[in-house]
A and B are shown apart, each in its own frame.
Chain A
Amino acid sequence: MSKDHIQDTLDSASDYKYGFHSDIESETFPVGLNEDIVRAISAKKEEPEWMTEYRLKAYRHWCTLEEPSWAHLKYERPDFNGISYYSAPVRTPKHASLDEVDPELLRTFDRLGIPLEEQKVLSGVAMDVVMDSVSVKTTFEDTLKKLGIIFMPISRAIKEHPDLVRKYLGTVVPHTDNFYAALNSAVFSDGSFCYIPKGVRCPMELSTYFRINQGGTGQFERTLLVADEDSYVSYLEGCTAPMRDENQLHAAVVELIALDGAEIKYSTVQNWYPGDKNGVGGIYNFVTKRGICHTRSKISWTQVETGSAVTWKYPSCILKGDNSIGEFYSLAMTNNYQQADTGTKMIHLGRNTRSTIVSKGISAGYSQNAYRGQVKMSRGAVGARNFTQCDSLLMSDHCGAHTFPVISSDCPTAIVEHEATTSKISEDQIFYCNQRGLTTEKAVALIVNGFSREVLAKLPMEFAVEAQKLLEISLEGSVG
């Protein structure tokens, strides 16, 4: 009886409240991909020759590759020739003044709850706003500049700081890495570039807000974040997209470089349109995210994923330097017909490296939620340690929860500990809460919250509040 109760609670209509579409004049390329389109994208962005060459090299390589199919996912293959690879709002402001921004655009961001005025920005979060592949606004640029911190759209960074970009772009995720990385390297249009100089502690959270607005396009953004020796930065990534019948493609690449003694905290709250109750539409989220840790450095990936129809992403850490630390905290919620195949890779190369993986999956409806992780202790990882905890909560009898960890070790002094459990909310727990005066809906929310706490606790404050609300909204419609 309580199982039906849970089902009903999750079934009451949940509106994807970001599903609106903004009428903004955009310039969109014709569909399809070929060398000319690649050159056109590069030309539109007025890129130097070396950048155009990089794109072409990647495109040529992509043509030789086949789309991967090993993930535990079933979806209709995107029609790569049926989407447009470039779309940008026409009236793009170039600088900090809000007067130049298309008022419709401002309204859009208002509706999303993203204030653009400097004063109202979430307790001083510097934000780069990317609408349909083009960075629209970056706040707090001057404040950061005084500290020597570079935070700007990557398209600008390619022109203003070519040496830096060239030095690091593609060093963590080379264009040959996988199918989507190659595609992204060829057609990426924008994203954030960030450089923190030696010894500097970035005083505010840096954030990029991605929104796909135009239909029929794919969004390919590229983020490159370099933390020089002994520096620190906390970065937030948020994403939404309007409701459409078609599946839109989001294939991003994020590269993080933490030099000796540096620390990067990268948090994502992903709420791409997940498709409707019957699994129609929704974003395909295929992302390659990777960080490389040098000596004594640390990279923490924290993510809350509740959106997109199909998710395929494995934020990873290459623990190259001795004594480096990699962390991965993830909460992935799937409902209706969503599918997620996500996890992390921790590659231990250096001595005394440490990694912690806490993955919490919540499946409801007819969704499939799979954790895929890799922990590799190579021969040189003397004294290294990994701890992994994967827990899955099943909330309906039609969904699936899967765990596919791959663990290997070539080093006798390295220690690996992995544990995974799968269970559901028990009727006894529900009745206990009922007896204490909580309705079943409230009980489910409380229990799910308790289940997710360890991950939510890792998010920066502002994000934690948003993530909590997102979980509640996802739950409202998810029992069913």
Chain B
Amino acid sequence: MLEIKELTARSDDGNDILKGINLTVRPGEVHAIMGPNGSGKSTLSSVIAGNPKFIKTGGTLRFNGEEIDELSPEERAHRGIFLSFQYPVEIPGVSVNNFIKTAINEKRRSMGLEDMPAGELLRMIKEKAALVELDPRFLSRSLNEGFSGGEKKRAEIFQMAALAPSLAILDETDSGLDIDALRIVANGVNKLKSPENATIVITHYQRLLDYIVPDYVHVLYKGRIIKTGGRELALELEEKGYDWLIKDYQ
């Protein structure tokens, strides 16, 4: 599904951040990307999603066989890429309901479909909110305004449920969450997993991976993936930290 070869990218203030990433994600897989802060994890998710603040300087980025470089972020979203942000922005005056309805219909229009009828839309939203344990009262509140860290992340997973992407990238979804919030968020993600979609979990700590079990674990350091392993690699990192691994790459 996602094929990344020798990807290099820099930020818009000129710093080279990604220095040659190779990654292949197939349907049904869960990949975890770990690494110390500043290694380029968020940059990778931003480049895949098409954030204009980051510029791809080399390599190839293919989604379902198609090179997506020239596609705008919304076009990538329509093709099935979803990014759960580390710091979801607030949009005052726009309710969660209103926002998700607009997103759903925009996607349908891009596929030549008509807007979803209001009744069906309402039912679907309620269903998805229940699935990810999002209190329906949040639906009428302004998007992310005044939400706690945990509430913001849950709202992100709710959006993921409603948009049903084929590739979901979870950027530090566990940061700022306590154990209970973590469990609820992970539960939601797990319920949405299927053999047709794939998930990339970006995290600094191991604990999320207790709940969202990865098939592959990659360690990103200074813009490169320095090691790939199975689930045990995450446990090893938890026990020993990153030093033993990165000392050879200083």
Contacts and interface: CB of A to CB of B under 8 A. Distances in A.
Contacts of B106: 437-439, 442
B94 interface: yes
B83 interface: yes
B65 to A, nearest CB: 21
Interface stretch (A50-58, A79-87, A445-453, A460-468): A445-453
Interface stretch (B70-78, B186-194, B206-214): B70-78
A431 interface: yes
Interface residues of A, number: 25
B88 interface: yes
Nearest to A453: B93
Nearest to A434: B73
A12 interface: no
B93 A435 contact: no
A157 to B, nearest CB: 41
A67 interface: no
B5 interface: no
Contacts of B103: 436-438
Q: Which of A1, A433, A453 has the most CB of B within 10 A?
A: A433
Contact of B102 (A428, A434, A438, A451): A438
B142 interface: yes
B74 A432 contact: no
Contacts of B146: none
B92 interface: yes
Interface in B89-110: 89, 91-94, 98-99, 102-103, 106-107, 110
A442 B102 contact: yes
Contacts, number: 78
A446 B77 contact: no
A439 B72 CA distance: 9
Interface residues of B, number: 32
A447 B94 contact: yes
Nearest to B107: A437
A455 B121 CA distance: 27
Interface string B145-181: 0000000000000010001000000000000000000
B51 interface: yes
Contact of B99 (A434, A436, A453): A436
Contacts of B81: 435
Interface string A399-439: 00000000000000000000000000011110111111111
A2 interface: yes
B93 A427 contact: no
A431 B94 contact: no
A435 B82 CA distance: 7
A102 interface: no
Given A438-B106, A447-B94, A2 B52 contact: yes
B93 A452 contact: yes
Interface of B: 49-53, 72-74, 76-78, 81-83, 85, 88-89, 91-94, 98-99, 102-103, 106-107, 110, 142-143, 159, 163
Interface of A: 1-2, 426-429, 431-440, 442, 446-447, 449-454
21 contacts: A428-B89, A429-B89, A431-B53, A432-B85, A434-B72, A434-B77, A435-B50, A436-B74, A436-B99, A437-B103, A437-B107, A437-B163, A439-B106, A440-B74, A446-B91, A446-B102, A447-B94, A449-B93, A451-B92, A451-B93, A453-B93
Given A429-B91, A435-B49, 20 more contacts: A1-B52, A433-B91, A435-B50, A435-B82, A435-B83, A436-B99, A436-B159, A437-B77, A437-B78, A437-B110, A438-B106, A439-B106, A442-B102, A446-B91, A446-B94, A447-B94, A450-B91, A450-B143, A451-B92, A453-B93
